[in-house]
């Protein structure tokens, strides 16, 4: 994929998820280590983002069979999600099965958000 196509694809994903056009693009460079320490499977993933000017906390609980592996490099800022069966869409993280079909599962954890 060429650089311009990468930017267009990333901008379309951003617009679909955030419900607004990106105001800028930025190239991010990082070093991928040759070896990583495997820390374990990711059960859930939380992140904050904004929609319509309001901040929201999202927590995605991965379905069995869709969970990525959490790995870390020895350098700073080297945390990686490796493998798993999921896609990032305009709805956020979506688990998929081996055939590429969407998978829905019951939440395994009760996650409470404490507002400050």
Per-residue pLDDT of 80-107, as tens digits, reads 999 999 999 888 899 999 999 999 888 8
Q: What b/e string do you get for 53-86 counting C-beta neighbours within 10 Å, with b at 16 or more? A: eeeeeeebbbbeebbbebbebeeeeeebeeebbb
pLDDT at residue 34 tops 90: yes
Q: What b/e string do you get for 104-113 counting C-beta neighbours within 10 Å, with b at 16 or more? A: eeeeeeeeee
pLDDT at site 2: 81
The rounded mean pLDDT for the chain is: 89
Q: How far apart are CA 112 and CA 81, in angstroms?
A: 24
Please, which pLDDT band fits residue 28 given cuts at 50, 70 and 90? confident
pTM of the model: 0.81
């Amino acid at each position: 994929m060429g650089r311009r196509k990468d930017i267009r694809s990333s901008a379309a994903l951003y617009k679909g998820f955030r419900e607004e056009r990106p105001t800028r693009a930025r190239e991010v460079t990082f070093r991928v280590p040759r070896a990583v320490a495997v820390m374990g499977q990711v059960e859930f993933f939380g992140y904050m983002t904004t929609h319509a000017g309001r901040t929201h906390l999202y927590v995605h609980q991965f379905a069995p069979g869709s969970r990525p592996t959490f790995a870390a490099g020895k350098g700073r800022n080297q945390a990686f999600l490796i493998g798993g069966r999921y896609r990032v869409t305009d709805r956020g993280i979506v688990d998929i099965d081996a055939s590429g079909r969407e998978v829905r599962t019951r939440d395994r954890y009760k996650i409470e958000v404490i507002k400050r």
